[in-house]
Every structure is written in C-alpha cells, then in structure tokens.
Amino acid sequence: MPFHCALSAPEAQDRRTCADVEIEDPDDYEYLAMTASGLLAEAGYRFSIGGFGTEEWDFDVAYDMSTLLEQLPEVRDGLRRGVECEIDLYSQGVERGITFAPSGSTVELRCVSRTSWVPDPDTELHERAAVEAMFDKLARDVAAGLRSVCPEIAGLSPFRDWR
C-alpha cells in the first residue's frame, strides 16, 4: 500500500462550540495543532495513515495525528517549492520519519523507522501533484472539522487559511 493519509469526519456529529476551551497561546502553532487534534478526536474524527508496506499505521487523532499536523505547513511549503522536507512522526510506538525529495513532477518518499517495524519498501515514488493534493485535502479537512467543533480555533492562523 503506498503512502497515504486522510482525516474522516464522524457519521453523526453534533455541531458545538468550544467556548469552554481556553486558548492559552493563539500564536503557538504546535500548541494549536495539539489542541485542534484533541478537539477533533473528542468529536469522533478518525485519521488514516499508512504506506511503505503497511496499509494502516494505527494512529490516533488526539496525539499521533498532531505530530504530523505540527509539521504540515513546512511539508506543504517544501513540496510546493520543490525542496526536500521531512516529517518526524515522533510519538511513542510510531517513531518514524518520512523524507520527501521532489524532483520535477515526482517526489521520492523515504521512510525510516526507529522501532522494530520495518518499512517494506522503505522508498516510494509518487506524483508530486498527488502528494501535494493529499496534504492540501488534509489541511482543508482539518479546517472544516475545526469550523464545526471549535470555530474559535478554526478562525486562527493557519487554520482559517486552509479553508
């Protein structure tokens, strides 16, 4: 199974606000990514990620997805500019990194594990436009989910720009 990731909304969702959530630092993106992931998890969102020989990596939304979300702006920018970039999925039990090396219309993805799990294959070649579209869709889906569960955070940068 090639590398993929996506956020899925719950089948039934109550629209609510998170007025009781205190936003401690609206300028700290890592904090906002962790808070957003927690709110999406509470609302029943699911995150699917896999590749490098394993269809599903069994990520949770609240913490594991937040590690990717923290680095999403940099990887999207790197892919657009055609420069090498990396995502460090550092959460305990996951502990793997993916390097994206764009070259023209393609991008080589290399996965390195820091656990007993072994990527097989450890390198995948993808159409660059498809990888960019996958991450753009993830950003839009996160923004849409936040708009539904916590408009206060959805209105902050960069989430408001992802819609």
What are the backbone dihedrals phi and psi of residue 114, each rounded to the nearest 5 degrees, phi first?
-115, 25
Burial zone of 50 (CB within 10 Å; 0-12 exposed, 13-18 middle, 19+ buried): middle
Q: What is the dihedral of CA 137, 141, 144, 150, to 10 degrees?
A: -140
pLDDT, residue 77, reads 97
pLDDT, residue 23, reads 82
> pTM (2 decimals)?
0.94
How many alpha carbons fall within 13 Å on the CB side of residue 42?
16
pLDDT, residue 159, reads 96
pLDDT, residue 12, reads 74
pLDDT over 90 (residue 17): no
C-alpha R_g of the chain: 16
pLDDT tens profile 105-161: 999 999 999 999 999 999 999 999 999 999 999 999 999 999 999 998 999 999 999
Using pLDDT thresholds of 50, 70 and 90, give the confidence band for residue 67.
very high
